[in-house]
Amino acid sequence: MPISRLIDALNEKIANAVSWALLIAVIICAGNALVRYLFKMSSNSWLEIQWYLFAALFMLASAYTLKRDEHVRIDVITSHFSKRTQVWIDLLGYLLFLLPVCLVIVYYGIPFARYSISTAEMSSSAGGLIVWPVKLLIPVGFGLLVLQGVSEIIKRIAFLAGHIDGHEFARHASTPQQEIEAIKAANKL
């Protein structure tokens, strides 16, 4: 569990830091639009930096999303199972799907990013930016996802062994029934 808590803390800190990328992207987007309409000036680099910031937010916060258990799930089906069965489904999903796919992406992403760095790759757009920082996000982001997957596996095994009660990975997302109730309530307004 200490390793799991360390990984969780790392991904929380990274997600909190990178969350500012959204605000920065919105400010750049608004500023770029104002400059474009008021002064009839623009640059592809302003558009690309917005894409880079969004990529950073998405890639570096994905592990945090997994930690919070707010990723895409099949709750419509699994919500009818016992907690223990749900944990087994999670564990098998992490071992058979999440980790292998993420490890393959990291394996191929490292030389992909390394090549971009070694060639000082630039965007093909006029006035574009260097490309390697966004390509480096691929192995880094999926590496963080691998680490979080390991953390989640540790928690599921600890639960199945009776060492924890499961609050460490309690679902934060709403159940399908809660979603239906929220939609009904919103429609009554």
Positive/negative CA dihedral, 36, 41, 44, 46: negative
- Give me the number of domains the chain comprises: 1
In a domain, 33, yes or no: yes
In a domain, 187, yes or no: no
In a domain, 24, yes or no: yes
pLDDT of residue 79: 76
pLDDT of residue 113: 94
pLDDT of residue 178: 62
Alpha-carbon gap, residue 30 to 36, rounded angstroms = 10
In a domain, 189, yes or no: no
Low-confidence ranges of the chain (pLDDT < 70): 168-179, 182, 186, 189
Domain that holds residue 147: 2-182
pLDDT of residue 179: 63
pLDDT of residue 135: 93
pLDDT of residue 27: 92
In a domain, 188, yes or no: no
Give this prediction's pTM: 0.79
